[in-house]
Amino acid sequence: MVKIGIQGFGRLGRNLLKLAFRKAQQKGCGDVGTVVMVNDPEINSDCLAYILKHDSFYGPSPIDIVEMGCSIMLDGVRVEITQESKIEKIPWAKNKVEYVIDTTGENSTCQKASKFLTGGVKRVIVTGCSNVPIFIFGVNQCCYELDMKVVSAGTPCMNALMPLLKVVHEHYCVELAMSRIMRPLTNSDSILDGTKGLCCRGTRAALNAFAPAVPFTTPAFVNKIMPELEGKNESTALRISVPVVGAVSLNVKLGKEATYDILKCRLKEASETFMKGIIGYTDDYAISTDMIGNTNSCVVDAKSGTSIGKCMANVYAWYDSELGFASRIFDLANYMASREGCPPGSKA
């Protein structure tokens, strides 16, 4: 059982903490990681229990949460809370933290993330895309090597897109892929026009408009995960004015003939077998709010895809950008922990 510390107590950090706690309750101690500590210099210490208990989109938590000064109790299990702003001074060693999961997206480079490797910390998992190895659980986690101290779990939209690409490519050999990501609101989006943003449009008010956005599924990062698609993929993104749930529209030119009806059958098979828990599948007339709380990386909307001719198809899928992403981060951490002690170079 690996001991985990979470850096950042925003929406992703809080969802990760509650998810890890629920998993530990379901499986018992010993086979899943446990969160023992959270650090966030911007935590409002007067509201710790409140913000964990209440969520405007997921609803109230069934966990009994009690604030105890510098820690919180979740159904009687203690998690220490610290507010250290300097990475090098975070007291991970006090709680024997072995893995740090940085949910802030602010320390995604190897240079920054390596600063967490103090006080007994063995591994660091960051979010976002940079110069560290990216592992999308369900797609390429088997490429993880024990000499990798800092890795990335990618982004919510990468975790939604890549499993779809993997399944389609394995069955029909993708010749070209064009994806459009519909990215939901995050805390980094502006309520009103401001001065901060990844691009000029990102500075504009997000609540009453949707706009093209910076895609986090660019070929440079897709190619790191699936090198066989190099030169064959491109991506665009839209920031949409809804919280939590986003969508992926994937257009593919196939190397083997297939209608959409055949393609969606393959995706359904995958959702029930080797991609179970990673890809979901629905025949229902779903809308975004139906997907809040879904822990799959993506959910194929069978009624929304289509095809033209024999080699062109579109796949549409939903994704919960918070709980779905938190689930894959936790899966990756447990997978890495399961590899501890394996011979160097061995593959799972």
Structure tokens at 240: 């949409």
Largest CA distance in the chain: 64
Given a contact cutoff of 8 angstroms between Cβ atoms, the answer to whether 225 and 332 are in contact is no
Angle among Cα 148, 152, 158 to the nearest 5 degrees reads 140
The pLDDT score that the predictor gives to residue 314 is 98
pTM over 0.85: yes
Find all residues with CB under 8 Å of 245, minimum gap 6, and list them. 184, 288, 289, 291, 292, 318, 319, 320, 321
Cite the DSSP H helix spans in the chain.
Answer: 11-27, 48-53, 110-113, 156-172, 219-225, 260-272, 323-339
Alpha carbons 54 and 165: distance in angstroms, whole number: 36
| 176 strand-pairing partners | 253
DSSP string, 26-37: HH-TTSS-EEEE
- Binding positions for NAD(+): 40, 127
CATH 3.40.50.720 fits 156-321, yes or no: no
Angle among Cα 147, 150, 154 to the nearest 5 degrees reads 125
- Binding positions: 40, 127
Structure tokens at 321: 């950008």
Amino acid at 251: N
- Show the beta-strand stretches assigned E in the chain: 3-7, 34-39, 65-68, 71-74, 77-82, 99-102, 123-126, 150-152, 174-185, 211-213, 233-243, 245-254, 279-282, 298-301, 306-308, 312-320
Alpha carbons 81 and 339: distance in angstroms, whole number: 28
Alpha carbons 37 and 96: distance in angstroms, whole number: 9
Which of 332, 344, 324 minimizes the C-alpha distance to 153?
332
Which of 189, 195, 234, 179 minimizes the C-alpha distance to 211?
189
The pLDDT score that the predictor gives to residue 347 is 60
CATH of 3-127, one of 3.40.50.720, 3.40.800.20, 3.40.1030.10, 3.40.50.300: 3.40.50.720
Going by their DSSP bridges, the two strands 71-74 and 77-82 should be labelled as antiparallel
Domain limits, the chain:
3-127, 156-321
Alpha carbons 73 and 60: distance in angstroms, whole number: 16
Structure tokens at 266: 């393959």
pLDDT in tens, the chain (348 residues): 899 999 999 999 999 999 999 998 886 545 688 999 999 999 877 788 899 999 999 999 999 999 888 899 999 999 999 999 999 999 999 999 999 999 999 998 999 999 999 999 999 999 998 889 999 999 999 999 999 999 999 999 999 999 999 999 999 999 999 999 999 998 877 777 777 766 787 788 778 888 898 888 889 999 999 999 999 999 999 999 999 999 999 999 999 999 999 999 999 999 999 999 999 999 999 999 999 999 999 999 999 999 999 999 999 999 999 999 999 999 999 999 999 977 666 665
Alpha carbons 237 and 184: distance in angstroms, whole number: 10
